[in-house]
Amino acid sequence: MKQNKKYIDDILEKSRDRRTFLKKISLGSAGLFLSHALNPDSSQSVDIVPGISDVSFVTGDDRREMMHQALRPLEQKIKEGIKGKQVVIKPNLVGPNPLCGAHVDAVRGVLDFLKPIYKKRVIVGDSTGRTYPGPMGTAKHYELHHYYDLEKEYKIKLIDLNDQGTQQLWIVDGNAHPLGVNIIDTFLDPKNYIISLTRLKTHSDVVATLSVKNIVMGSPVSHYKQVKAEGRNEKSFMHSGGFKNIHFNIFLVAQHVRPQLSILDGLEGMEGNGPTLGTAVEHGVALAGTDMIAVDRVGVELMGIDFNDVGYLTYCAQAGMGQSDLSKIHILGDDPYRYKITYKLHENIEKQLKWKEGIAVDIK
């Protein structure tokens, strides 16, 4: 911690106008500057995505078939990507309500697609941080969402990612001081091919849950099994600084943690007080792609959400982590914009948008 603080202070002292510079870390170069100060090697993790990005889009009323059909146009890219890798499907499971989680039939559709092109055992893993009602844990989520049936039907292994080893990355606390967070090794291992699978959902802190958030917020470990750290959930560290900093912290971790394949299930989305207390939206859509930003860009468009309101996505897009320009996103399938539905946002949306005022206070 002291070494990182000295590193930041040494650089900041060289700034021509240190006080003005520190007053507000904005979306532009100052924000990117701090991200490199906290994670000096992050530039090696940022993949600039030039030109056109493909996003596959389908409609329908059969979730399992929709997942399979959304992936078919991407088959060659996926074949190349999974070669020599361990495939890990990371579903989004955040509560007992069926609407809160990635539906088991969505996982089935992905596994149906993978079966003829991937002969190794697929890992399906999540890392829940929820402990209410009671210490639910990942295994309880698998039970409630009927995931254990998958082990009987496919060559897969269900695991609790919270049981894996961790590595420390750096985010910022409420005072913009460096804050260490332990990230699960599975998300950082270059030998893994990570698939993000989630619904289209509104959110109580970051406007919307999409593929980037599913992976990044799933990556900090939760110690709910450990006696000495009972209830300690490092995912909560990402919320340090409230509505302002969470977007920037997602951006910081996303420089190291990202899906190789993003899948959004919009057969039935969630609007209102998501990610756990929202209500259903019958939407009938699904989309997928290997560019997480492009997929999420189309996702928010389908939900009637202004992309510029979702801070973590705008930060990642500006840093070159993916394509956010709709004119440079090539849709494989029907025109998705014909299927746009304006989702009702969380009741606290005005507070959520305070991130636009600048994300951090003076570093002291």
| Confidence tier at 46 by pLDDT (50, 70, 90) | very low
**The total number of structural domains that make up the chain:** 1
pLDDT at 185 > cutoff 50: yes
pLDDT in tens, 258-301: 999 999 999 999 999 999 999 999 999 999 999 999 999 999 99
Cis-peptide into 190, omega within 30 deg:
no
pLDDT at 90 > cutoff 90: yes
Distance, in Å, from the CA atom of 5 to the CA atom of 17, rounded to the nearest integer, reads 19
pLDDT at 87 > cutoff 80: yes
Give whole-number Cα distances, 79 to 83, 195, 290, in Å.
Answer: 6, 13, 12
Instruction: Report if residue 364 sits inside a domain.
Output: no
Q: Determine the average pLDDT of the residues in 56-61.
A: 98
pLDDT in tens, 251-266: 999 999 999 999 999 9
| Confidence tier at 358 by pLDDT (50, 70, 90) | low
Q: Which residues of 288-306 are buried (b: 16+ CB within 10 A; e: fewer)?
A: bbbbbbbbbbbbbbbbebe
Instruction: Report if residue 315 sits inside a domain.
Output: yes
Instruction: Report if residue 362 sits inside a domain.
Output: no
Q: What percent of the chain has pLDDT over 70?
A: 81
Instruction: Report if residue 14 sits inside a domain.
Output: yes
Q: What is the pLDDT of residue 209?
A: 95
pLDDT at 91 > cutoff 80: yes
pLDDT in tens, 190-246: 999 999 999 999 999 999 999 999 999 999 999 877 766 666 889 999 998 889 899
Instruction: Report if residue 299 sits inside a domain.
Output: yes
3-state secondary structure of 4: helix
pLDDT at 78 > cutoff 60: yes
Looking at per-residue confidence, does 40 or 66 come out higher?
66
pLDDT in tens, 5-44: 443 444 334 333 333 323 333 444 445 555 665 665 544 3
Q: What is the pLDDT of residue 37?
A: 57
Instruction: Report if residue 185 sits inside a domain.
Output: yes
- DSSP-assigned beta bridge partners for residue 120: none
Both structure tokens of 194: 């990570």
Query: For residues 212 and 292, is the Cβ–Cβ distance under 8 A?
Result: yes
Q: Determine the average pLDDT of the residues in 318-328.
A: 96
Instruction: Report if residue 19 sits inside a domain.
Output: yes
- Boundaries of domain holding 191: 2-357
